[in-house]
């Protein structure tokens, strides 16, 4: 019988080869659960799938780049019924205290915004044809944004803007999609201990393990929350910083150590 900890049994997760994506996959893994997992690193993705299968789940890994719209559409359309889709794949890059190169900005937006759309839009089409469950929901789509969505930090302009875009898109779309039984969730975590944050050379307040973040994410989705932001003190701080006059906010942030400008593999 399926594990009743979470109310979904068919789950698709992008960026599942490491970090929060891997933690989400393992948190969902249980007997009776099918996991469709994607990532660009085939070897690491296979390790995630093996760990999920050890927990009793059926894991179906697929090496795909979320920037490939056609491949993503084929993969999602062929997955069958999907109770939950998590658009988790993303990249991070800062300026290192310098001007952000155009190639960096384009790469961040291509993965963090276009990649999310390449995941969520085919999922919306697929879920619209599904019969609703006992709760009247045909399916759920969660996009992984960040508390950075609420702050225009000069050290990571493309990253902050990309996360703000998907956070607002998901929250706005939920208002209309729920009319046809599809829910959207904007997940806005703080600092999570992952390979992505491992490059940071500045203090990361309230840094948490990926496993804890995964449970907070899935718990918020299960409760039907549109915005899932954590930890609360960091979220509040981001909202307050975002409300400062732009010149004052920029002056304060420019005093902090810069985030590394190198894009991850």
**Helix, strand, coil percentages, rounded to 5, for the chain:** 45, 15, 40
The residue among 243 and 252 whose pLDDT is bigger is: 243
Q: Is 147 helix (H, G, I), strand (E, B) or coil?
A: helix
Question: What's the pLDDT at 260?
Answer: 57
Give the C-alpha distances (Å, rounded to integers) separating 88 from 20, 134, 181, 244: 8, 27, 22, 29
The two tokens of residue 262 are 């190198």
pLDDT band (50, 70, 90) for residue 261: low
- Examine residue 235 and state whether it is found in any structural domain, yes or no: yes
Looking at 204-259, list the stretches that DSSP marks H as alpha helix, in order from N- to C-terminal side.
210-222, 232-242, 246-253
Which tens digit of pLDDT belongs to each residue from 219-251? 999 999 999 999 999 999 999 999 999 898 888
pLDDT (tens digit per residue) in 49-58: 999 999 999 9
Residue 141 forms beta bridges with which residues? 85, 184
Using CA atoms, how far apart are residues 62 and 64, in angstroms rounded to an integer? 6
Least confident of 43-47, 134-138, 185-189, 195-199: 195-199
- Say yes or no to pLDDT of 95 above 70: no
Q: Would you place residue 97 in the very low, low, confident or very high pLDDT band (cuts 50, 70, 90)?
A: low
Domain of residue 109 covers: 10-253
Q: Could you confirm whether 159 is annotated as catalytic?
A: yes
pLDDT single digits (tens) 13-44: 999 999 999 999 999 999 999 999 999 999 99
pLDDT of residue 134: 87
* 231 Rama sector, left if φ>0, alpha if ψ -120 to 50, beta otherwise: beta
Question: For residue 113, is it within any domain?
Answer: yes
pLDDT value of position 1: 34
Structure tokens at 203: 């203090």
Residue 4 is assigned to a structural domain of this protein: no
pLDDT in the model for residue 202: 66
Output the CA–CA distances (angstroms, integers) from residue 215 to 2, 83, 86, 220, in the order listed.
18, 17, 14, 8
Q: What is the mean pLDDT of residues 93-116?
A: 87
Residue at 263 is within a domain:
no
Asked if residue 259 belongs to a domain, the reply is no
The Cα-based distances of 125 to 76, 139, 264 in angstroms read: 10, 11, 31
261 falls within a domain: no
pLDDT tens by residue, 158-193: 999 999 999 999 999 999 999 999 999 999 999 998
CATH of the domain at 142: 3.40.50.720
Q: Please tell me which residue, 250 or 98, carries the higher pLDDT value.
A: 250
Counting residues of the chain whose pLDDT is more than 70, the rounded percentage is 91
Q: Which residue has the higher pLDDT, 153 or 114?
A: 114
In a domain, 1, yes or no: no
State the total domains in the chain. Answer: 1
Residue 137 has what pLDDT? Answer: 96
CA atoms within 13 A on the CB side of 99: 3
Predicted confidence at residue 154, as pLDDT, reads 86
- Which pLDDT belongs to residue 265? 37
In a domain, 75, yes or no: yes
Across the range 196-220, mean pLDDT stands at 85
CB 89 within 8 A of CB 39: yes
Q: What is the mean pLDDT of residues 103-112?
A: 95
């Amino acid at each position: 019988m399926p594990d009743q900890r979470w109310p979904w049994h068919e789950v698709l997760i992008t960026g599942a080869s490491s970090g929060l994506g891997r933690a989400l996959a393992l948190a969902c893994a249980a007997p009776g659960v099918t996991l469709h997992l994607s990532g660009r690193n085939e070897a690491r993705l296979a390790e995630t799938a093996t760990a999920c299968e050890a927990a009793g789940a059926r894991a179906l890994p697929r090496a795909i780049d979320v920037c490939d719209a056609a491949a993503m559409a084929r993969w999602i359309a062929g997955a069958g019924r999907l109770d939950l889709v998590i658009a988790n794949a993303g990249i991070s890059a800062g300026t290192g205290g310098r001007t952000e190169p155009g190639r960096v900005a384009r790469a961040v937006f291509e993965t963090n915004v276009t990649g999310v759309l390449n995941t969520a839009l085919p999922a919306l089409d697929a879920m619209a044809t599904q019969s609703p469950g006992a709760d009247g929901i045909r399916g759920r789509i969660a996009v992984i944004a960040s508390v950075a969505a609420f702050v225009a930090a000069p050290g990571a302009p493309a990253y902050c803007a990309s996360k703000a875009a998907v956070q607002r898109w998901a929250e706005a779309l939920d208002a209309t999609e729920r009319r046809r039984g599809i829910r959207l969730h904007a997940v806005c975590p703080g600092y999570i201990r992952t390979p992505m944050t491992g490059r940071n050379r500045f203090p990361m307040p309230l840094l948490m393990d990926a496993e804890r973040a995964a449970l907070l994410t899935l718990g918020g989705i299960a409760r039907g929350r549109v915005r899932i932001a954590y930890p609360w003190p960091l979220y509040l701080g981001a909202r307050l910083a975002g409300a400062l006059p732009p010149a004052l906010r920029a002056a304060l942030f420019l005093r902090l150590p810069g985030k590394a400008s190198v894009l991850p593999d």
